[in-house]
Amino acid sequence: KQEVTQIPAALSVPEGENLVLNCSFTDSAIYNLQWFRQDPGKGLTSLLLIQSSQREQTSGRLNASLDKSSGRSTLYIAASQPGDSATYLCAVSPRSTGNQFYFGTGTSLTVIP
Partner 1 sequence: DVKVTQSSRYLVKRTGEKVFLECVQDMDHENMFWYRQDPGLGLRLIYFSYDVKMKEKGDIPEGYSVSREKKERFSLILESASTNQTSMYLCASRRGGGVYEQYFGPGTRLTVT
Find the angle CA(28)-CA(78)-CA(55) to the nearest 5 degrees.
Answer: 25
Rounded distance between C-alpha atoms, residue 64 and residue 66, angstroms: 7
Nearest CA to 69 out of 85, 56, 52 is that of 52
Interface positions with partner 1 (CB under 8 A): 4, 31-32, 34, 36, 41-46, 49, 51-52, 89, 91, 93, 99-101, 103-106
CB of 113 to partner 1, least distance (A): 27
Question: Which C-beta is closer to partner 1: that of 42 or that of 55?
Answer: 42
CB of 100 to partner 1, least distance (A): 6
Question: Which C-beta is closer to partner 1: that of 18 or that of 58?
Answer: 58
**What count of other Cβ atoms lies within 10 Å of the Cβ of residue 61?**
13
CB of 64 to partner 1, least distance (A): 13
CB of 1 to partner 1, least distance (A): 8
Find the angle CA(110)-CA(20)-CA(17) to the nearest 5 degrees.
Answer: 60
Give backbone dihedrals phi and psi of 87, rounded to 5 degrees, phi first.
Answer: -100, 135
Question: Which C-beta is closer to partner 1: that of 18 or that of 51?
Answer: 51
